[in-house]
A and B are shown apart, each in its own frame.
Chain A
Amino acid sequence: MAPKQSHQQRIGDRPAVKYTLITLTLVLTAVLLVVPLVSIFQKAFIDGLAVYWQSLADPDTLHAIWLTLFVALLTVPINLVFGVMLAWSVTRFEFPGRKLLMTLMDIPFAVSPVVAGLLYLLLYGNNGWIGAWLYEHDLQLMFAWPGIVMVTVFVTCPFVARELIPLMQQQGREDEEAAVILGASGWQLFRRVTLPNIKWALLYGVILTNARAVGEFGAVSVVSGNIRGETNTLPLHVQLLYEDYQATAAFASASLLAAIALLTLIFKAFVEWRQERAHRAETDH
């Protein structure tokens, strides 16, 4: 062990240690994250731009893109409203069972997506107690788009609340209580006081919900029935092409999903930068 330098205040600051750790991290990150990401696009464009466009313009692919966006478009608003409601109730009030409610909210994180899909299939499929009733009334939810939307809502429901709860807890209730005392109505309170404080976290929650909604695979594959051109979402379509030995086409579709993931990450970095700046402005006062 080298003799301690007197100016060293924290461990791991000696250049030898520091640069070894940084290099090790960068190498591991490159191998485990960066190269896989780059390889998606490399495989997608391997046969040139024309082939890339051609595989995306395939009617089944276009339908899968459309269905995926449609599902996300229905899922995100539902989970947006639920997330705000849940975050408001657990951060603004004390009530018995509050912790239990927050744990229940995490169920979709812990449950395997295949199990999630199965739960819905058993309840709303023709043999389930609700499904049998629906069947008598000629309503088919499973193996059709409503089922896909339902399991996607299940899988993505914690994300908005998860983003909001820590932020709202940290901000406290004072601003809002002041507004109420000054006579603000419930809606005014939310729109003028709460929303400006949480808008970036809320927006990130929405973007993350969207990313997970377009990418859900396991749960959707249980309830979709994989009907090409009908109930095939983009991730299922990627699987179908890949198992059909159409690797380039599979990666072309995958590249769209990867692009959404990248935009999500960029947006997250942007939100964090905004929050940091706001925080710094506050402490400078």
Chain B
Amino acid sequence: MSTSLNATQRKPRHKRVLPGLGLSLGSSLFFISLILLLPMTGLVMQTAQMSWADYWYVITDERVVASYQVTVWAALLASIFNGVFGLLLAWVLVRYEFPGKRLLDALVDLPFALPTAVAGITLATLYAENGWYGSLLAELGIKVAYTPLGIIVAMSFTSIPFVVRTVQPVLEELSPEEEEAGITLGASDWSVFRRIIMPSLWPALVTGVALSFTRSLGEFGAVIFIAGNMPYVSEITSLMIFVRLQEFDFPAASAIASVVLIVSLVLLFAINIWQARYLKRLHGR
């Protein structure tokens, strides 16, 4: 792996002939500074005005801590569900031919294209006790709308595409030889899947699940309609920030937002580093 990497690095330095480095990089940096980085200064200044004790008091408030727990648990379960469902979808889309395959492939992206508020009212209506799904589930004694279960439903809806779209390209590129060898040697389908396919697939699967988790942590529009938003029970952290804002408690809103922001930035950087590493391994082979 390292030898092939060194080989590309040792390639005679490409003489730069293409124009526009100054313009394109300059304007990209300007844009990123203005749109993405500058706004963070407001949050830093707002939280810097608080004493450490105040800050700690706000972010460890009982109701806020309950919201962290609800959010993290729901996001975790939603992304695990999407890991399984996404893997199934990717497998079926890559391995089989059947009528309507193109339609299915297009539908996978629906949650990205559909506004979250629309998803929110739709799911809330479907899973409400008089809704299509809610009435069926009520007979089984399961209540989804206005419970933490509803949060999981909304989060998994909005992040379905992540796992499919990260696993699909890797599955397409898998070479059939190792799989054939395994079958020829008499291994069962399941053990070929577990021992030959999964080792190549799991880095992409982990990336997809992590992306789905990150997205779910921040999901707001789809969740608030179906969650019922009961303090301590079904209130997500994004909503907590929103509630503090409506109370004009800017310091508290900022303090909670800073926690959320730090967690999502750490996750983002971790995912990108992880992805870069396994891509290197994949192409270095």
Contacts and interface: CB of A to CB of B under 8 A. Distances in A.
Interface of A: 1, 4, 8-14, 17-18, 21-22, 24-26, 28-29, 31-37, 39-40, 43, 81-82, 85-86, 88-90, 92-93, 95, 99, 101-116, 118-124, 127-130, 153-154, 157, 173, 176-177, 180-181, 186, 189, 208, 211-212, 214-218, 221-222, 235-236, 238-239, 242, 247, 250-251, 254, 257-258, 260-262, 264-266, 268-269
Interface string B171-207: 0000010011011001011001100010000000000
Given A112-B241, A177-B18, 6 more contacts: A39-B132, A107-B265, A114-B241, A238-B121, A254-B117, A258-B114
B220 A114 contact: yes
Interface residues of B, number: 100
Contact of B117 (A89, A119, A181, A215): A215
A27 B271 CA distance: 32
Nearest to B103: A269
B242 to A, nearest CB: 5
Interface in B58-103: 85, 88-89, 91-92, 95-96, 98, 100, 102
A101 B29 CA distance: 8
A20 B114 CA distance: 29
Nearest to A1: B188
B238 A115 contact: yes
B105 A269 contact: yes
12 contacts: A8-B183, A10-B95, A10-B183, A17-B189, A33-B110, A110-B265, A122-B46, A128-B42, A180-B19, A208-B112, A208-B113, A235-B221
B268 A107 contact: yes
B25 A32 contact: no
B27 interface: yes
Residue among A186, A217, A247 facing the most chain B CB atoms (10 A cut-off): A217
Residue among A114, A116, A222, A247 facing the most chain B CB atoms (10 A cut-off): A114
B19 A186 contact: yes
Residue among A21, A102, A110 facing the most chain B CB atoms (10 A cut-off): A110
Question: Interface majority SS on B: helix, strand, loop or mixed?
Answer: helix
Residue among B37, B188, B261 facing the most chain A CB atoms (10 A cut-off): B261
Contacts of B238: 112-115, 218
Contact of B260 (A103, A115, A154, A262): A115
A260 B27 CA distance: 31
A216 to B, nearest CB: 7
Residue among A90, A99, A118, A123 facing the most chain B CB atoms (10 A cut-off): A118
Interface string B108-149: 111111111111011101100000110000000000000000
A101 B32 contact: yes
B121 A113 contact: no
B7 interface: no
Interface in B243-264: 245, 250, 253-254, 257, 260-261, 264
Contacts of A36: 119, 122-123, 126, 157
Interface in B31-45: 31-32, 35-43, 45
A100 to B, nearest CB: 9
Residue among B186, B193, B218, B221 facing the most chain A CB atoms (10 A cut-off): B221
Contacts of A250: 121
B23 interface: yes
Contacts of B267: 110
Contacts of B186: 4
Contacts of A28: 85, 88
Nearest to A216: B115
Closest 10 CB pairs of A and B: A215-B115, A112-B218, A123-B42, A122-B42, A217-B221, A218-B220, A261-B113, A119-B39, A89-B24, A110-B268
A112 B197 CA distance: 34
Nearest to A241: B121
A238 B32 contact: no
Given A118-B257, A215-B116, A239-B117, A154 B35 contact: yes
Contact of A154 (B39, B218, B239, B261): B39
A127 B21 contact: no
Given A39-B126, A119-B42, A269-B105, A9 B180 contact: yes
B217 interface: yes
A101 B28 contact: yes
Residue among B104, B117, B218 facing the most chain A CB atoms (10 A cut-off): B117
Contact of B25 (A93, A108, A262, A266): A93
Contacts of B35: 153-154, 157
A39 B197 CA distance: 38
